[in-house]
Structure formats: C-alpha cells, structure tokens
A = this chain, B = another copy of it.
Amino acid sequence: MEQDCAYKTLEARFRQIALYGEVASVLHWDAATMMPPDGASPRGEQLSELRVLRHRAVTAADMADLFSAAEQEDLDPWQRANLREMRRDHRFATALPDDLVAAISDATSACEHMWRDARATSDFAAVSDKLSVVLKLTRESAVAYGEALDLDPYDALLESYAPGVRSADIDPVFNDYAAFLPGFLEEVTARQANNGLPVQPKPVPVAQQQKLVARLAGATGFRFDAGRIDVSAHPFSTGYRGDQRITVSYHEDDPMASVMAVLHECGHAAYEAGLPAAWTRQPVGQALGMVVHESQSLSVEMQASRSPEFLGWLAAQAMDVLGPDPAYEPNNFRRLQQWVQPDFIRVEADEVTYPAHVILRTRLERPLLSGDLPLSDLPGAWNKGMKELLGVDVPDDRRGCLQDIHWYDGAFGYFPTYTLGAMLAAQLAEAAHKAVPEIPQALAKGDFSPLMQWLGNAIHAQGSYLDADGLITQATGHTLDAAAFKRHLHRRYLEG
C-alpha cells in the first residue's frame, strides 16, 4: 500500500478540485437562469474565490514531487492515463503567474460587460480599448503557455481547448473547405430553389414548445431524474453525473429553434452522462476537449436529428404537440430543416455555411494575436472576409465582428473546435452506421438508443483515457479529416 501513496494522494486532491468545479458549474447555471440582477456582483466574487481555490490546489508546492513519486508506483493503464491528465492540468495552471490570471479575469469581465452595450449599439470603437487590453493579456498568456508546453503561442491556446489540435493541421482543412464552398453552395442553392421557399411555421406559445422539447430530450435518453431543462439567453449544457442541466431559449415566432437547440445540448449532456463512472471527479474521467464535445452535440443535432429518417418522425411530433400547421407537412418540414442560406450570423447558420464563419474567425484571430492585424482594422477585415467566403455584405458591426462573445471574453483559439467537431461528427456517423446499420430505421421511429449506445461505447465511456488521435482512430479507423463531412454534405444536400 505504501507504494501507492503518492498516486492515491493525487486522486484525493483531484477529487477535491473536481468538487470545486461542480460547485462553480451550479453557480454559473444559477447566474444564467435564476439569479436576480443585484446578485451579479457577489456571484462574481464567489466564482473568483473558487477559481483561486482551484488554482491553489492544482499548483500546490508538493505537486511536482507527488507526480514524480507516483510515476514510480505500480499503476494500471487508466491510473497512468489519469496521472498524465493530472500533469496536463498542472502544466496549464502553473504556466501563468498569479497576477496575470487575476489581470485576465478583471480585463475579460470589464470587456465582456462593455461588449454587451457595444453590440447593442453596433459600436465597435466603444469596446476596442477594452478588447485591446484583453488581447494583450491573452498574448502574454499564450506565450507563457507556449513556453510551458513547448508550443507556438496560438497552438498553446488551441491545446487548452482541444488537446492535440495544431494550426498546421487546421490550415489545410480550412483552406480546402473555403475552396470547396463556393461551387458547392451554388449547386445546393440552385437545387433547393427549384421547389420555391418552404412554408415557415406559425408562432407557438412557449408552454407548447416546452412540451415538445421535453419529449425530444427524453427520446435522446436525457433523464429528468438526473437533470433539468430551463431557460437562458443562450442555450448551454452544464452539470455533472446525476445532475445535468440544459438551457434553451424560446422564441414564439421560431418554434423549431428551441427544438434543435435542445437536441444539440442533449448531445453534450449525453457525453457528460456517459463518461466512465469509475473515474468520476478524476481528470481521466473528463470529456476529451471541445472538439470531441462539439462532435457529440452535432452527432445528435446535425447528423441524427436533421437526417431524413428522423425529420419524418419529428414532423409528426411537431404536428402532435404544437398543433396542425402546413409547415410540418413532411416534405416541407425537411426542406425547412435542411435549408442552406449564406447569412451574417454564425449561431443561426446552416451546417454548410457554418464552417465559413469559423474559417473567417480563425483567419482573423491569429494575426490579431500576433499583432499583424491592428484592432482598428478588424471590422474592415471581417466584412471583406465575409464577402469573400460567403458573398454577403455585412450591414453593421453588430451583425459583424461584434456578434460573438468569445474574443471579448478572452477566448481566442476556441472557434476552430466548432468546425472540427462538425467534421468529427460526420466521421463518427459513417463509422456508427457501418457498425450498426439499423441506426437510421431506429431514428425514423424517434429511437436514438442504437446511436447513443454506439457513441456511448466509442466516445463517452472512453473519457480522456486515449489522446484525441487515438480515440478517433479507435472509433473510426483513421484520424480526423474533412472527407466524411464533405461526403455527408454531398449526400444530404445534392442527393437527398
């Protein structure tokens, strides 16, 4: 037993660190769904105290010695992978000096707060001073991470969101997609125009949308004994084993928005719920970064829920719960849910044009970070990029470079995970359908279980045992590339 001592001590420490994370997730959820306005300031102080606790625990003075001692102990492969993930956490936490962590926290709070007004008034100049502070501090942290991890600064930021992802892998994939898109888009829009515009659904009261949302969440395997669905300004999913919390926003005029959002969040929640129970609260038991996480939400929302099989069933549910509406006539409904339309707003984009939004941001955030693109040139560069990639003229910064919170909140290097996740979802869908051919027939009856079982084994139950390349290869036979995604788009939009 003595020889296990360092490893067991580390497990106990990381259990405690995970508990701080669970508590923080409840506080964040509450802030987005329940908290009255005057609660914002004390909530900020509570969360900052929890961050300090977590940081202090991960960077404790004896951690390095415990890691070295644990390496010498007799560990099984999962314990060894857990130790590797602990070291990863520690490496990130120790990379930044405490005063930089505090400065980033203050600067992003101030910038994010200012951004809300700047976006409302479409006034980029009003927030650019604050953003330039965030950018400067993010640059410092990228350099510090890079030194600690022996990576280029931008790659170090990517690594923090998506272990193993490098810009050298992203560039060819994104350039290829940018080249593929204009021709593909032309074909798709010409084809869908043949049948005119689909009929839009009539407005539906929120209470009825909630009934449909609950039914669909249940179909994906979401358990209300171990979770809730609430309302927030932007949909998200959080929580932990036993208590998964999803939020949706409802718009009477657009009843299918809440439905598709909940299916997306249910994909995230299923991943969290299916993580290996034996490794709860240990680093190896956590989700493997944001690319894999997004692949799970898009497996449910884009791959499964917008498949022709599932859309047939969903149209019948909509008719049943929301009431009769020509928009839910099966053919019209399918055209509605598969409609492709270049537009300004990322979060409203279809899956064909969505990558263009991500490519634009990825192309801009790297020169922003390096300083090659001055902040004052951002709006112009944004609008030029949108014209080149999607052929649209951005009317104002509100619908341009002010639309997303990410940069204003200090999240540089995050955007690529959305599109890599979409590509991984397509690659996983091909492998799943090959292994379990009855998935489409089951979806046609609203039955997600064959799909979720495959994803559960291939992805969810693997936690962070393997690295991303290892996990994706084990699940699909090869590492991540864009081929399956392009095949999927071709099938769905030119053959379907």
Contacts and interface: CB of A to CB of B under 8 A. Distances in A.
Interface pairs A-B: 7 shortest CB-CB: A39-B243, A38-B226, A38-B242, A19-B49, A42-B242, A39-B242, A23-B46
A27 interface: yes
Contacts of A26: 26-27, 30, 46
18 contacts: A16-B49, A19-B49, A22-B42, A23-B23, A23-B50, A26-B30, A26-B46, A34-B34, A35-B243, A36-B224, A36-B226, A36-B228, A37-B226, A38-B223, A38-B226, A40-B242, A41-B242, A42-B242
A461 B491 CA distance: 70
Nearest to A45: B19
A228 B34 contact: yes
B241 A36 contact: no
Contacts of A38: 223, 225-226, 242-243
A223 B38 CA distance: 10
A228 B38 CA distance: 11
A24 to B, nearest CB: 9
A235 interface: no
Interface in A40-66: 40-43, 45-46, 49-50, 53
Nearest to A239: B39
A240 interface: yes
A23 B27 contact: yes
Interface in A230-285: 240-243
A227 interface: yes
Contacts of A23: 23, 27, 46, 49-50
Contacts of A27: 23, 26
